[in-house]
A = this chain, B = another copy of it.
Amino acid sequence: MNTIEAIEARRAIKHYDSDHRMSPEEERRLIELAMLSPTAFNIQNWRFVVVRDMEIRKKIRAAAWDQAQVTDASLLVVLCGNLSAWKQNPANYWRNAPQAVQDFLVPAIEGYYSGKPGVQRDEVMRSCGMAGQTLMLAAKAMGYDTCPMDGFDYEEVEKIIRLPDDHVISFMIAIGRKTQDSWPRPGQLDYNEVVIENGY
């Protein structure tokens, strides 16, 4: 599917064929495409918790206002971020670059994130946003639909997936075969309401 078509056709879908499961190959392909999304300094701070186990999905559904797509979709991905990615062997993220690039960029990573928990958290949310949108568009192109979700009890889901202390959840995405279309776009802002020329 053409990129522009995928962008235009993607909508948040709530109703899925609960009998359908993706093949392991499709699942891996989707995540590998999401992994091509950019991250600042190439720190690849996203972590994809792929939830297939139905008992765990039921627990997450209970923590997500009982939204049916959590269990009915073919797959549920919890997009998490590792707040410590920047300091965990950062040279590894640039290991194949020319030495001069490594010498410049690797120390810059420490300078950018060290002692700045707000910056680390913003980076996780941004990275997961980009990777999540890649995943949703790739899924659309592969014939699937998706539902991005942040309507759930974050602390509860963190416990269910046993998230490490230095990780946070950004959002979740349900992926599957839709059984019902979404409603029409419910109230979009005009171009001039969200686009500012040169400055406020």
Copies held by the complex:
2
Please encode chain A, from 104 to 127, with 1 for each CB lying within 8 Å of some chain B CB and 0 for all others. 000010001000000001110111
Q: Please tell me if the beta carbons of A4 and B97 are within 8 angstroms of each other in the complex.
A: no
Docked complex Cα distance between A87 and B52 (Å): 37
Q: Please tell me if the beta carbons of A198 and B7 are within 8 angstroms of each other in the complex.
A: no
- The residue on B at minimum CB distance from A184 is B96
Residues of A within 8 A of B (CB): 1-8, 10, 12, 28, 31-33, 35-38, 40, 42, 44, 46-53, 56, 80, 92-98, 101, 108, 112, 121-123, 125-134, 136-138, 140-141, 148, 150-151, 160-164, 170-171, 183-189, 191, 194-200
11 further A-B contacts with Cβ under 8 Å, apart from A12-B38, A56-B198, A123-B150, are A3-B137, A4-B138, A4-B141, A7-B137, A8-B33, A32-B191, A40-B150, A53-B198, A93-B186, A122-B125, A128-B129
Contacts of A136 in B (CB 8 A): 38
Which of B4, B37, B137, B162 touches A200 (beta carbons < 8 Å)? B162
The 7 closest A-B pairs by CB, nearest first: A129-B129, A125-B125, A3-B141, A130-B133, A133-B133, A161-B199, A97-B186
